[in-house]
Structure formats: C-alpha cells, structure tokens
Amino acid sequence: MSPDTPSPSCNGGLPPPASVRIGLVSVSDRASAGVYTDQGIPSLQAWLGKALLNPITWVTRLVPDEVPQISAALQALVDEEACDLVLTTGGTGPAPRDVTPEATRAVGEREMPGFGEQMRQISLRFVPTAILSRQTAVIRGKALILNLPGQPKSIAETLEGLPAATPPCPGIFAAVPYCIDLIGGPYLETDAAVCKAFRPKTAIRWTRP
C-alpha cells in the first residue's frame, strides 16, 4: 500500500482532509489606511470556506498599493508562514497605482498565465473593459500565488465560474487543487456543490461520499 493510499480502517477507509494554510492579501491604499473597511479578505474567506473541505489556517495581510510592501507580504506568507496557497485582491487594473501584478511577478519563480486568461474570459461575459485587467499567477517554492479582482462579486465569479451560463464558463479554482498537487502541496478537496475540482483520473486519490 502506497503512502497516499488511505487505510481501510481509518474513518471508513478515508483519512481526514489535509490541513491547508492560506494567505490572503488585500491591496488597497484606502483600506490599509483605515479610510474604509476592507471587503476583499472577508469575501475570499467566505467563498473558500464553503468550497474547501480541508481545515484552513488563515494568514492575512492588508497592504497599500506599493510594490515593496506587496512583494514583502507575499514573500513572508510563503517563506515564513508556510502558506500553500496565497490569494491577492485588488490592484490589477491599468491605473498607475495598480501594481499587484508587478509585485507578484517579482517574487515568483514561474508564471502561470492561464489563470489570468481565464479570469478575463469570465469577466468579459459582463463587461468589455475586462480586457483591462492584468491578473496573473505565479509559483514560489511549493506555493501558488493568485491575483484576483477587488470586488466581492467578481471574486466569487472568477473562483467559481459561471456554470449556469450558455455556454458554461469554468472558474479558475477547479484547477487549483491539481496545481497544488503538482508543486508538492497538500491534497485539496472541494465541495462539488460549490466547485468541483478537476484532476486526471490517475491523480485522484479518493472520492468522499
């Protein structure tokens, strides 16, 4: 029996879901200065808390739109806090103060542009200005870092996709668990009613009832 094969005597044949550490970074000059209450981090926690079956440890940061502060936060979440997945919200447009993609690329070892491409495809279903967004994703060590938009509604749409649309438009999170597998992170399990993770058949370790 391989190390990844669940013991038949353990919890009905399946081990409990692995714990995961998730870093959340909200990038906003005004929210970080206390001008208004940040909505990005609570929106991410609400969606991820519903989508994932894994126990989650949250590590959060609220930073201004400055490349050094954003990069430092991302680096610390991966290197010091040992986060497996890091999501940012805000700062991905074309305005001069929108520098989250630059700060993300600065700490990334490999870029994963497909995530940004799919986010723009989802947003284009609603507004033509979606082509102005610059979201991206990178890998640092064994962690995946994702840039997300700043509005709560857009956060949920890009993560979950548009399953009821014609034609349906997949969300980006369906690909996240397998990506984490490939870079050596924990085995993420999702609630299929919220977001069904996609893995090749050879990568599926088990299916919970």
Residue 155 lies in a domain: yes
What range does the domain containing 60 cover? 17-203
pLDDT in the model for residue 5: 45
* Residue at 78 is within a domain: yes
The 10s digit of each residue's pLDDT in 40-53 is 999 999 999 999 99
Tokens for 130? 């979606």
Task: Count structural domains, the chain.
Answer: 1
For the chain, residues with pLDDT lower than 70 are 1-12
Q: Give the pLDDT confidence score for residue 27 in this predicted structure.
A: 96
The verdict on residue 8 lying in a domain is: no
- What backbone torsions phi and psi does residue 138 show, to the nearest 5 degrees? -140, 160
Q: What is the pLDDT of residue 88?
A: 98
Establish if 3 belongs to a structural domain: no
DSSP assignment of 99-136 equals -HHHHHHHH-SEE-HHHHHHHHHHHTTT-GGGGG----
What is the spatial distance between Cα 147 and Cα 135, in angstroms, rounded to a whole number? 5
- The Cα angle at residue 63 between residues 61 and 64, in degrees rounded to 5: 170
Q: What is the pLDDT of residues 140-163, one digit of tens each?
A: 999 999 999 989 999 999 999 998
Is residue 208 assigned to a domain?
no
CATH at 194: 3.40.980.10
